[in-house]
Chain A
Amino acid sequence: AQKITQTQPGMFVQEKEAVTLDCTYDTSDQSYGLFWYKQPSSGEMIFLIYQGSYDEQNATEGRYSLNFQKARKSANLVISASQLGDSAMYFCAMRVSGGYQKVTFGTGTKLQVIP
């Protein structure tokens, strides 16, 4: 079975600073994908970034980067130059090969950006 663990229920970061949101995963599959989603208070889940298990380089999308450490089974999200609009819930998720539509989500981290 697949499992995603996000150990930080809440985080604070000063505006313009960088922040790292932790995510560890557990799977026996060799092929899998890792996702991060952002959920503002409006409720919609917004896709941020994807990392494939065979990707050798860490994924980056604008101010978002994924610190992928395969041996440690961690996929931390790094947000650089935080903005007030980054305040939201952040969810780490995983999909394994074969179960390509079954995504397992973590419990989320609530990020608050302080002016």
Chain B
Amino acid sequence: ETGVTQTPRHLVMGMTNKKSLKCEQHLGHNAMYWYKQSAKKPLELMFVYNFKEQTENNSVPSRFSPECPNSSHLFLHLHTLQPEDSALYLCASSRITTSGDNEQFFGPGTRLTVL
């Protein structure tokens, strides 16, 4: 596998279910991100991890719980979601530098539907 992978690609869940999204990067990066992409809205940053430490939580509801066991893996645990949480969830990774030109590499996303 190369780049950034995400599983599953599609997920349908009920409001009472618990599920997890998985992201893995094979690029040797040390920062990972979760984004939410809803229809007709800008991409929303949810969480940022540097070297496994969470450095950004963009006022995300507690029903979303991230986990970063190492710099290559990132999870998003979901529980008691709402229908408005239905969206494309994108994972990204980047190499931390101070220069600013470190673009983020994205995975293909998980299309989540909450019934």
Contact = CB atoms under 8 A, between A and B. Distances in A.
Interface of A: 4, 31-33, 35, 37, 42-47, 50, 52, 91, 93, 95, 97, 100-108
B17 interface: no
Interface in B72-115: 88, 90, 92, 94, 96-98, 100-109, 111
Contact of A101 (B33, B108, B109): B33
A45 B100 contact: no
Interface of B: 31, 33, 40-43, 45, 48, 50, 55-56, 88, 90, 92, 94, 96-98, 100-109, 111
29 contacts: A4-B42, A32-B100, A43-B88, A43-B90, A43-B108, A43-B109, A44-B107, A44-B108, A44-B109, A45-B43, A45-B90, A46-B106, A47-B104, A47-B106, A50-B101, A50-B103, A52-B100, A91-B43, A93-B43, A97-B100, A100-B96, A100-B97, A100-B100, A100-B102, A101-B31, A101-B56, A102-B48, A103-B45, A105-B43
Contacts of A52: 100-101
A91 B106 CA distance: 13
B92 A45 contact: yes
Nearest 8 pairs of A and B residues by beta carbon: A45-B106, A105-B43, A43-B109, A44-B108, A47-B103, A33-B100, A105-B42, A107-B42
Given A102-B56, A105-B43, A106-B42, A44 B98 contact: no
A105 B56 CA distance: 16
A31 B107 contact: no
Contact of A103 (B50, B55, B104): B104
Given A4-B42, A47-B104, A52-B101, 14 more contacts: A42-B108, A43-B88, A44-B109, A45-B92, A47-B106, A50-B101, A93-B43, A101-B33, A101-B48, A101-B50, A101-B55, A102-B48, A102-B56, A107-B42
Nearest to B90: A45
A38 to B, nearest CB: 11
B105 A47 contact: yes
